[in-house]
Chain A
Amino acid sequence: MTSVPLVSVFSADDSSKVTAKHIPLPAVFQTPIRPDIVSFVHTNIAKNRRQAHAVNPQAGMQHSAESWGTGRAVARIPRVSGSGTHRSGQAAFGNQCRKGRMSLPIKVWRRWHRRVNIKQKRHAAATAVAATGIVPLVLARGHRISQVPQIPLVVEDKIESYEKTTDALNFLKRFGAFEDVQKVVSTKVVRAGISKQRGKKYRVRKGPLVVYFNENAKLLKAFRNVPGVEVVNVTRLNLLQLAPGGQLGRFVIWTQSAFAHLDKLFGTYRYSSIIKDGYQLLRPLITNPDLARIINSNQVQEKVQPAKTTKVLHEVQKKNPLKNTKAMDRLNPYAKKQRAAAAAAIKANTKGTKKIKKNKALKKASRAAYNKVAASLNDATKAAVQEEQDIKVKYFSVQKGAAQTE
């Protein structure tokens, strides 16, 4: 992680003054960023704040309705008994019926809360803390931190003794955190939906989270009334505050003692946590997540074989080498020369144009002969046909004569 391994602590009164330079970054900030763990843990932990509610178990069932059965030309759904009112004979009880009870009515004994493994919860918290130290993640979450001198922002313990809200506000202004507060103020909207009638009139954004250490700190009251700002003790860091909505990268302002306490709280890669008994920070699967850099580095490229060209297994369309000269040449490179030699030989054998003429004459003679034969054959067939016809005629005339005489 390229989190700055060294962090400066700022003076509470003057954002340009640094009271302590180069404090080492607690190991938590080097935890691998695991949005999957955070998302899982958040969705489950968020359910733990729910209060049981249910639908009235009798709702829709307060009738002595009975099904009329078959044979009455109505659906078999239970119908309200009695008479004298519109309601009688109307369908009841079913989820599909008007005024019927809902299907699977909500019971109080629904499993409202979820338990999550402690280790998972701790990993999630650690990741969330790490994410608060990464500027792009805080920006992407939507915090206005472009005027903040440093992330993670660590301030001397003096702010823990702030009692007045004006002090708190001025402090935020000095450190460029007021822009975030202004964002909260300007984006406060009346909530859509019925929740506004149930005590949740406004939707308010999250602003900075101030983390302190000493239990006697009065800053809780000083920051309480500043919109969007939340105050929490280090020992009670809450994932729901560190990653609101399951989204990593809350803007956090640490006090010096709180910051120093993080090592004890989460432990380091050298020793496991003191407070979270036996908890060891998550180790990354891959220490340098920048794969592109690794692959393109000299050390890797040296060992890597050159990229293979694509192998052509066969032609897209089969060409017959006996007919297609190019296909033939592909198979037998000498074929070209053979062909050339053959052509030359043929040319050499033929002598002038006489032979050609002779051939023509021959052709003509043979053709004439053929025609003669064909003609004679023709005549012969014609004669034969004529003869046959004569015979036929004779025969039939004889027949006729025979018939006539009879």
Chain B
Amino acid sequence: MQIDEVVWQVINRGHCSFKIKTISQNFCRNEYNVTGLCSKQSCPLANSQYATIKEEKGLCYLYVKTAERAQKPKELWEKILLSKNYEQALAQIDEQLKYWSNFMIHKNKQRLTKLRQMLIRIRKMRLKGFKELIPIKKKAERRDKIREQKALVAANLENAIEQELIDRLKNGVYNEIMNYNTKAFEKVVGQNQMEDEEEREQQELEEEEEDYSDEELIFDPNDLEEDDDEEDQDDEEDDKRLFQKQTFNQLRRENDEVKDIKKKKPRVQLQYEEEEEVEDRKKQQIAF
């Protein structure tokens, strides 16, 4: 009690590490300050008899400091758990701070009220859920966007897809006729021509019997609708590569499964220089 005056003079006039000066007001950063303001009455350093309310994990505690323990910083603050019931807590404060200055009692009660309301709000928000505001960081956003684009380019998606499709083609996934980009097909065709001629021959032999069945499969249900296109049957030349047919079939099936496109598919016209197949084609037509 005796030193308080001196301490306040030194702290206030001189330097206090907890004091925050603003244009209109002075604040106190000390964690035990009841009001948060820098004034003689509410300075936890300049008052050897002091009390605060602090909240910890949803519970409010009354921290009391007396002159007797002034020299023992470790034991300085006595921590008293306050009742969860608001009125009881107020009564507790009254009891603990009996005969203390009105200022201290009043401010503690005010602080308790404030903290409790804060806790109520927290609980409400937790239950209801709340919109969490996340700041948009321009720099980071910009950076990520650019990196995404770069990654996209670097991934070579088209090439990868192309490869995948070609692999499927090779693997015999597609049996039916597929609608495709003529250029791409020819490219693939060219490739396959180069690579798998032997295979083709073998498969042709093997799958002659399957021709008819394949033809049935080849029969495009969509084509039924198109009466005009019967003329194009002559042009329909697809038996050069039976294994390709198979893959195309598969592709078609897949297409249907996926329910991809209902668009009218243009008749694919294949013209091969080799004329060996003409007879086979005729056979097919007969089979029709």
Specify which of A134, A142, A150, A176 is in contact with B3 (CB 8 Å cutoff). A134
Does A1 lie within 8 Å of B2, measured CB to CB? Answer: yes
Q: Once bound together, how far apart are the Cα atoms of A291 and B6, in whole Å?
A: 10
Q: B6's contact among A247, A289, A292, by CB below 8 Å, is which?
A: A289
Instruction: Say whether B18 faces chain A, with CB atoms less than 8 Å apart.
Output: yes
Beyond A35-B14, A140-B45, whether A135 also contacts B71 by CB under 8 A is: yes
Is there an interface contact between B7 and A137, defined as CB atoms closer than 8 Å?
yes
Consensus secondary structure, chain A interface? loop
Which residues of chain A in 123-169 are interfacial with respect to chain B, using CB atoms and an 8 Å cutoff?
Answer: 131, 133-137, 139-142, 145-152
- Tell yes or no: A384 within 8 A of B by CB: no
Mark contacts of A227-268 with chain B using CB atoms, 8 A cut-off: 1 yes-contact digit, 0 otherwise. 000000000000000000001100000000000000000000
A289, B80: Cα distance in complex, Å: 32
Contact with A along B4-42 (1 / 0, CB 8 A): 111101110111111000000000000000000000000
Given A136-B7, A293-B1; A150-B71 close (CB under 8 Å): yes
Which of the residues B3, B7, B14, B71 comes within 8 Å of A247, measured between beta carbons? B14
**Chain A interface size, under 10 / 10 to 19 / 20 to 34 / 35 or more:** 20 to 34
Query: Which of B9, B11, B67 has the most A CB atoms < 10 Å from its CB?
Result: B11
Residues of A within 8 A of B5 (CB): 289-292
Measured CB to CB, the nearest residue on chain A to B43 is A136
Check if B74 is an interface residue, CB within 8 A of chain A. yes
Please, which residues of chain B bring their CB within 8 A of the CB of A1? 2-3
Tell me whether B266 is interfacial, beta carbon within 8 Å.
Answer: no
B57 contacts chain A at the CB level, 8 A cutoff: no
A361 at interface by CB-CB < 8 Å: no
In the complex, A221 Cα to B286 Cα: how many Å?
107
Is B13 within 8 A of A136, CB to CB?
no
Q: Known: A176-B74, A289-B5, A290-B2. Contact between A139 and B45, CB under 8 A?
A: yes
Per a CB cutoff under 8 Å, which of B17, B45, B74 touches A146? B74
A2 on the B face (CB < 8 A): yes
- Per the bound structure, the CA–CA distance linking A139 and B43 in Å amounts to 12
A288 within 8 A of B: yes
Instruction: A149 to B69: give the CA distance in the assembly, Å.
Output: 11
Are B1 and A2 in contact, with the CB atoms below 8 A? yes
Contacts of B67 in A (CB 8 A): 2
Q: Which residues of B contact A141 (CB under 8 A)?
A: 15, 17
Decide: A142 near B17, CB < 8 A? Known: A35-B10, A289-B5.
Answer: yes
CB distance from A142 to the nearest CB of B (A): 4
Q: How far is the CB of B103 from chain A (nearest CB, A)?
A: 13
A135 and B67 alpha carbons, distance in the complex (Å): 11
Nearest chain A CB to B109's CB is how many angstroms away? 24
CA distance A264 to B48 in the complex (A): 31
Bound: A3/B2 CA distance, A:
10
- Which one of A4, A131, A247 contacts B15 once the chains associate, using CB atoms below 8 Å? A247
**CB under 8 Å from chain A, chain B span 29-71:** 45-46, 48, 67, 70-71
Contact B13 A35 (CB under 8 A): yes
Partner of B10, one of A142, A151, A176, A248: A248
Q: Are B73 and A290 in contact (CB under 8 A)?
A: no
Nearest B-chain residue to A139, judged by Cβ: B45
Residue contact B46 to A136, C-beta cutoff 8 Å? yes
Q: How far is the CA of A43 from the CA of B213 in the complex (A)?
A: 107
Residue on B with the closest CB to A7?
A: B71
* In the complex, B131 has a CB within 8 A of chain A: no
In angstroms, how far is the closest chain B Cβ from the Cβ of A372?
Answer: 83
What residues of B have a CB within 8 angstroms of the CB of A35 in the complex?
9-10, 13-14
Determine the residue in chain A with the shortest Cβ distance to B8: A136
Is the beta-carbon distance between B11 and A290 smaller than 8 angstroms? no
Q: How far is the CA of A140 from the CA of B11 in the complex (A)?
A: 7
A33 on the B face (CB < 8 A): yes
Residues of B within 8 Å of A293, CB to CB, are 1-2
Query: CA A293 – CA B47 in complex, angstroms?
Result: 13
CB neighbours (8 Å) of A151 from chain B are 71-73
The answer on a CB contact under 8 Å between A145 and B73 is yes
CB distance from A316 to the nearest CB of B (A): 34
Whether B70 contacts A2 by the Cβ 8 Å rule is: yes
A51 and B72 CA atoms in complex are apart in Å by 43
Chain B residues in 8 Å Cβ range of A150: 71-74
Residue of B nearest to A142 (CB): B17
A136 to B3 Cα, complex, angstroms: 10
**A139-B77 Cα distance, complex, nearest whole Å:** 14
Contact present for A288 and B2 (CB under 8 Å): yes
Contact assessment for A2 and B48 in the assembled complex, using a CB-CB cutoff below 8 Å: yes
Docked pose: A133 CA to B67 CA in angstroms: 14
- A136 surroundings in chain B (CB, below 8 A): 3, 7, 11, 45-46
Chain A residues with Cβ below 8 Å from B11 are 136-137, 140
* Complex interface bits, B246-288 against A, C-beta within 8 A gives 1, otherwise 0: 0000000000000000000000000000000000000000000
- Which residues of A are found within 8 Å of B15, using beta-carbon distances? 140-141, 247
7 additional contacts (CB under 8 A) given A32-B6, A248-B10, A291-B5: A1-B3, A136-B46, A139-B45, A149-B73, A150-B71, A151-B73, A293-B1
- A-B contacts, 5 of them at CB < 8 A, read A35-B14, A140-B18, A141-B17, A291-B5, A292-B5
Kindly list the 6 A-B residue pairs having the minimum CB-CB distance in the complex, ordered from nearest: A136-B45, A142-B17, A4-B71, A140-B16, A136-B7, A289-B5
